[in-house]
Amino acid sequence: MENENLNKTNFFNGKNILIFGLGRSGLSTLNKLSTICKKILAVDNNPDFILPEEYKKLTEYDNIKFFISDNKDLINKLLKDINLIILSPGISMAAPLIRSAIRKKIEIWSELELAWFFLNENQRKNTIAITGTNGKTTVTSLIAKILNDFNLKAEPCGNIGNPLINTIDTDNSLNNKNLINYTKQENLIRVIEVSSFQLENIYDFNPHVALILNITNDHIDRHKSMTDYSKIKFKIFKNQSSSDFLIINSDDKNINKFFKKSDFINEIKPDLIKFSLNHKEDIEIYYENEIIHYLVNGLEGKISIKDRNLIGNHNILNIMGAIAAAKIFNVDDESISKSIKNFNPLPHRLEYVGVINGIKCFNDSKSTNPDATIKALDSFKKEVTLILGGLDKGMNFKSLIPVLNKKVLNLILIGSCKDKLYELFFKNPHDYKIYKALTFEEAVNKGFEVTNKNHSFLLSPACASMDMFKDYKDRGNQFKKIVLSYKK
Q: How far is 325 from 347, CA to CA, in rounded Å?
A: 23
Q: How far is 273 from 404, CA to CA, in rounded Å?
A: 34
Q: How far is 136 from 278, CA to CA, in rounded Å?
A: 22
E strand or H helix at 436, and its extent? strand 433-436
Q: How far is 384 from 434, CA to CA, in rounded Å?
A: 12
Contact between 116 and 123 under an 8 Å Cβ cutoff? The reply is: no
Q: How far is 444 from 368, CA to CA, in rounded Å?
A: 18
Q: How far is 280 from 339, CA to CA, in rounded Å?
A: 27
Which amino acid, one-letter code, is at 195?
A: S
Q: How far is 30 from 21, CA to CA, in rounded Å?
A: 10
Q: How far is 109 from 431, CA to CA, in rounded Å?
A: 50
Cβ count within 10 A of residue 82: 18
User: 408-414 and 433-436 as β-strands: parallel, antiparallel, unpaired?
Assistant: parallel
**Facing residues of 140 across strands?**
none
User: 209-212 and 245-249 as β-strands: parallel, antiparallel, unpaired?
Assistant: parallel
Which amino acid, one-letter code, is at 462?
A: A
pLDDT tens for each residue of 27-81: 999 999 998 999 999 999 999 999 999 999 999 999 999 999 888 889 999 999 9
pLDDT score at 441:
97
* Residue-wise burial string across 215-229, b where 16 or more C-beta atoms lie within 10 A, e elsewhere: bbbbbbebbeebeeb
Nearest to 379, CA basis, from 464, 463, 316: 316
Give all domains of the chain, ordered by start, each with its CATH number: 2-105 (3.40.50.720), 114-341 (3.40.1190.10), 351-484 (3.90.190.20)
Per DSSP, the residues of 222-235 read HH-SHHHHHHHHGG
Contact between 28 and 111 under an 8 Å Cβ cutoff? The reply is: yes
Say what the pTM is.
0.88
First to last CA, the chain: 63
Q: How far is 257 from 40, CA to CA, in rounded Å?
A: 43
Contact between 384 and 455 under an 8 Å Cβ cutoff? The reply is: yes
Residues of the chain with pLDDT under 70: 1-7, 170-185, 217-224, 262-265, 488
